[in-house]
Amino acid sequence: MDDDHGRISTRRIADAFAELLPEHREVIMRAYCGASVTELAGALSVSEDIVKSRLHHGLRPFRSALQKNGVTVP
């Protein structure tokens, strides 16, 4: 992959991520960095069910935004 393609993909991913609600961005980013649902719940002072809900309701529009921005999503 050349540098221009990498920059374009990174920009498209960042644009898609920016479309999410802040609470969805936060749990997705922390989960991506390896935090468990239990750890996220403790860090955010919410229940594990809330964390799961935010992940679910954040990932769906994130995938859609990625596709809209031309990023292939498995």
List, in order of start, the domains of the chain with CATH numbers: 10-69 (1.10.10.10)
Would you place residue 70 in the very low, low, confident or very high pLDDT band (cuts 50, 70, 90)?
confident
- Please tell me the distance from the alpha carbon of residue 11 to that of residue 44, in angstroms, as a whole number: 28
Q: In the prediction, which pLDDT does 71 show?
A: 82
Q: Please answer whether residues 67 and 8 qualify as being in contact, where contact means their C-beta atoms are separated by less than 8 angstroms.
A: no
Does position 3 have pLDDT exceeding 60, yes or no?
no
pLDDT for 11-63, tens place per residue? 888 999 999 999 999 999 999 999 999 999 999 999 999 999 999 999 999 99
More confident position, 19 or 71: 19
